[in-house]
Structures are given as structure tokens and as C-alpha cells.
């Protein structure tokens, strides 16, 4: 449980101290302006209103009115919004929410991005809720897709309520008034920051501290990245401690034959190390952090996908955090040894099979959604749910055109 006194909490056992500044440095609007030329196109809508945050934190899975595809009417089960006795119940009223301004902003971004985008909040994407959409991915084609993913995700709940839980200076009093606001002015090029005036300073000052680690005054943002089908085999998670790249892990836990030759791994290690030393190490403000890279199919360019805190809240993938924390870093400044960074891939189909449980299966199905299954098995209900979404208001817009140049697609050039 979180400390309720004014004393800071101790660092996680075995981890270097995690500060609030470290967590804020990994928020999208903190790092994106610096690394925009090395990142896929993205637009930020910020700050999100109190009403929308309250909607995300409310119980139940329901979508705001007017958030589905244009031209499709969204009706309640009774179709006219009235209960059986001809009057509108209080329960029905509690489900009637709408965010027309946010809907419009999301639709504008989707139009700019050829009809599809990948959503996240300040730190996390709702990867654990991907099963809620027909394609079981994060490809959003209307505001309803975005809202459904955000509202169904435990990762998003962590952003809203627990982002600073493990910070050494974590107390409600120290976090409530010392956040860093997102940088303004991203209006052209690969990304754009859109600021809303819905959230006044007075409203921020009046908010309560949310449960445990995230101050309610922190300005939450919706990030929409242009959708692109990135091959998971070319994604890499990189671990940095004391400003040294200590480890690299394959992000996808499937076996890929083309990754197996030692020469391929040696070249990849050199490429990632060079990119880190030239582009990231000199400018990223934290001492300890994790970053994700995508290497293009041609193997000649990296794109930065994300930064994460160096803490147990970040998935260590093919490593364990104990292994990472026990890696000995050379004492001489800037030295690259024969043993660092250590790189790991899935080396056999059997190893891949051991990793084959469905991703995020422990938090995949919200309790109230399971209750709607009416006795069906989870597999049967998931199939039926996906079919209904595909057929109903969450049906998609047009697919991205094939054959576009990959770098131009990601960087907008």
C-alpha cells in the first residue's frame, strides 16, 4: 500500500531510485519534441477534461453518444431511451455521456491519418484491451474505438491512478503541485500538439488527489499515432542503466529464423548501440530508462516507439529484472565492452511455445463484460463480441493503402 505519511517511500529492492522526473521524462509530450524526426507521426490532444477522465474511471463498459462511425445511429437497448413503464430510469441517465469536442478532434486526426490511428495516454497504450476490437489490435477508426480501448484497459487505469506509485519522493503532498506540463507548439511536421481550453487552472487546483500515485492535477493527454502495420519481428526493447545500454530484448516472443545467425545479431547490436550513443544517450534526461525501437524492413533506419521508466512496471520481456539489475556496468566512462549490451532473442520454436499464452490474459476480460456472456465460454463470448463489433457501430473506415514507402508513412516525409 502507498505511504500515507509525508515520508518518501524507499526505492524498489534492487532497482536504482525512480524519481518523479524520471516518470515524467517518459511521458509522450516530454520526449516527442526532442525525438520527433526519429518517431512515427503523432498528434497529441491535451489536456483531457475532468469529465472524460471521470468517464474512463467509471464502472461499466459503455460508449459515449455520437462516437461511432458517421451516419450510424447509436441506440440503447430500448431504442427510445425509455424504460418499460415509459419513463427514463436513473440508470439509463447515468450511461448517457457525450464528448462532441473530443469526438471532433479525434475524427480530424483520423482523417489526416488516412482513417486509422493507434491510441495511448501519457505513458501507456491499451494493449491489454486489443481483443475488444474486431482485428484484435489497436487500429482505431472512429472515436468509439478509442474510447472502448481506453476504458477497457488496466494499463490506462495505471496511467490515471498509479503512474508515480514507485517514485522515491511519492507522497500526495509532494506530487499534487509539481508536475511538468506538456510542451506546446507541435503544430506542423511529423506531429502536432493540440491544446484544449476545457481544463482551467481553477479546475485543476480544485481536483482531488486520485488513489495513490498519480496527482489529479497532472494534465492527461490522448496520443494518436498514425496507424502502420509494423512487423513485430523488428521491434526491440532496450534497457539503460547509469546511462549505459546494458541489454536488448526481442519484443515479440515468436521465433524468427532470419534472426538466428550470429552475424545478424552482431550487426543489430552494433546498429542499436550506435543509434543510442549518437541520438539518445546525449539528450535523454534520465539516468535509467527503457526505450523501444523499430528497425525498418530495409534495416537502414530506426524509429523510436516509446520510452518507459526503469522499474518493475515495465515488462522485462526475455530478461528478468533480477538479471538486469545484476548486470555489472564498466567503470570507465563511455566504454563499450564485449559483453554489453547483452542481446536476447527467441532461439527456438520450443522457446516460443513456452511464451505462447495469450498476451495479458490475466486482465483480458473485464468482470462486467464476462457477466454479459450469459454462461458462454470466454472463447465463445470473445468470438461473438468481436463479430458484433465488426458488424455494428465499431465497424471500420477504409484500410490504409498498400505499397507506400515505409519511411514516408512513418515519418510523414
pLDDT of residue 337: 55
**Nearest to 243, CA basis, from 211, 212, 204, 282:** 282
Cα 369 to chain centroid distance, Å, stands at 22
Q: Is 67 exposed, middle or buried (0-12, 13-18, 19+ CB in 10 A)?
A: buried
Helix axes 143-152, 154-162, angle to 10 degrees: 70
**pLDDT tens for residues 5-22?**
345 556 677 899 999 999
Task: State whether residue 186 is helix, strand or coil.
Answer: coil
Checking 147-151 for CB contacts under 8 A at 24+ apart, the result is 147/55, 147/63, 147/64, 147/67, 148/61, 148/63, 148/394, 149/119, 150/56, 150/119, 150/121, 150/126, 150/222, 151/55, 151/56, 151/61
pLDDT-derived band at 211, boundaries 50, 70, 90: very low
pLDDT of residue 187: 34
Q: Between 375 and 45, whose confidence is greater?
A: 45
**Nearest to 44, CA basis, from 194, 159, 228:** 194
Q: Is the pLDDT of residue 70 over 60?
A: yes
Q: Between 72 and 147, whose confidence is greater?
A: 147
What number of CA atoms fall less than 13 Å from residue 277's CA on the CB side? 13
Q: Which residues of 317-348 are buried (b: 16+ CB within 10 A; e: fewer)?
A: bbbebeebbebeeeeeeeeeeeebbbbbbbee
- On average, the pLDDT of the chain sits at 77
Cis check for the bond before 383: say yes or no (omega within 30 of 0).
Answer: no
pLDDT of residue 360: 52
Mean pLDDT on 85-99 = 61
Q: Which of 111-125, 252-266, 371-385 has the lowest mean pLDDT?
A: 371-385
The cell 490504409 sits on which residue?
Answer: 400
By the 8 A CB rule, do 133 and 145 touch? yes
Beta bridge partners of 226: 117
Distance between CA atoms of residues 394 and 270, nearest Å: 44
Question: 129 — alpha (psi -120 to 50), left (phi > 0) or beta?
Answer: alpha
Where in the chain are the domains? 1-73+93-229+365-413, 232-354
pLDDT of residue 362: 45
pLDDT of residue 343: 96
**pLDDT tens for residues 332-348?**
555 555 578 999 999 99
pLDDT of residue 336: 54
**pLDDT tens for residues 273-323?**
999 999 999 999 999 999 999 999 888 899 999 999 999 999 999 999 999
Task: State whether residue 45 is helix, strand or coil.
Answer: strand
Distance between CA atoms of residues 339 and 350, nearest Å: 26
Please give the DSSP secondary-structure letter assigned to residue 95: T
The cell 511529423 sits on which residue?
Answer: 190
pLDDT-derived band at 324, boundaries 50, 70, 90: very high
**pLDDT tens for residues 144-200?**
999 999 999 999 999 999 999 999 976 544 443 444 444 433 333 333 443 333 333
The cell 507521426 sits on which residue?
Answer: 41
pLDDT of residue 60: 85
Beta-carbon count within 10 A of 392 CB: 14
Amino acid at each position: 500500500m502507498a505511504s500515507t505519511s509525508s515520508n518518501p517511500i524507499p526505492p524498489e529492492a534492487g532497482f536504482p531510485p525512480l524519481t518523479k522526473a524520471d516518470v515524467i521524462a517518459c511521458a509522450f509530450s516530454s520526449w516527442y519534441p526532442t525525438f520527433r524526426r526519429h518517431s512515427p507521426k503523432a498528434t497529441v490532444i491535451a489536456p483531457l477534461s475532468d469529465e472524460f477522465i471521470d468517464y474512463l474511471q467509471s464502472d461499466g463498459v459503455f460508449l459515449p453518444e455520437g462516437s461511432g462511425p458517421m451516419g450510424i445511429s447509436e441506440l440503447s437497448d430500448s431504442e427510445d431511451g425509455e424504460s418499460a413503464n415509459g419513463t427514463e430510469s436513473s440508470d439509463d441517465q447515468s450511461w448517457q455521456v457525450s464528448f462532441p469536442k473530443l469526438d471532433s478532434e479525434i475524427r480530424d486526426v483520423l482523417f489526416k491519418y488516412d482513417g486509422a490511428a493507434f491510441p495511448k495516454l501519457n505513458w501507456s497504450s491499451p494493449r491489454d484491451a486489443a481483443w475488444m476490437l474486431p482485428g484484435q489490435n489497436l487500429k482505431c477508426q472512429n472515436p468509439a474505438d478509442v474510447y472502448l480501448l481506453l476504458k477497457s484497459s488496466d494499463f490506462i487505469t495505471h496511467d490515471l491512478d498509479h503512474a508515480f506509485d514507485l517514485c522515491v519522493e511519492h507522497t500526495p503532498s509532494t506530487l499534487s503541485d509539481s508536475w511538468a506540463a506538456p510542451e506546446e507548439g507541435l503544430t506542423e511536421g511529423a506531429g502536432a500538439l493540440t491544446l484544449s481550453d476545457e481544463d482551467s487552472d481553477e479546475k485543476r487546483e480544485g481536483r482531488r488527489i486520485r488513489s495513490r500515485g498519480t496527482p489529479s492535477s497532472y494534465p492527461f493527454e490522448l496520443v494518436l499515432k498514425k496507424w502502420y502495420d509494423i512487423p513485430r519481428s523488428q521491434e526491440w526493447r532496450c534497457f539503460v542503466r547509469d546511462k549505459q545500454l546494458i541489454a536488448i530484448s526481442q519484443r515479440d516472443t515468436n521465433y524468427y529464423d532470419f534472426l538466428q545467425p550470429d552475424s545478424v545479431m552482431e550487426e543489430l547490436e552494433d546498429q542499436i548501440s550506435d543509434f543510442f550513443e549518437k541520438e539518445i544517450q546525449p539528450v535523454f534526461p534520465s539516468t535509467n530508462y527503457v526505450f523501444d525501437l523499430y528497425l525498418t524492413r530495409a534495416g537502414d533506419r530506426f524509429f523510436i516507439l516509446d520510452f518507459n521508466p526503469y522499474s518493475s512496471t515495465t515488462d522485462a520481456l526475455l530478461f528478468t529484472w533480477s538479471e538486469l539489475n545484476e548486470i555489472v556496468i564498466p567503470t570507465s566512462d563511455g566504454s563499450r565492452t564485449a559483453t554489453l549490451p547483452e542481446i536476447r532473442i527467441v532461439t527456438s520454436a520450443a522457446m516460443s511455445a513456452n511464451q505462447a499464452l495469450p498476451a495479458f490474459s490475466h486482465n483480458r476480460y473485464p468482470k462486467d463484460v464476462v457477466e454479459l456472456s450469459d454462461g458462454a465460454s470466454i472463447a465463445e463470448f470473445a468470438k461473438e463480441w468481436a463479430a458484433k463489433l465488426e458488424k455494428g457501430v465499431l465497424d471500420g473506415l477504409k484500410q490504409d493503402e498498400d505499397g507506400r514507402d515505409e519511411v514516408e508513412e512513418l515519418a510523414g516525409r
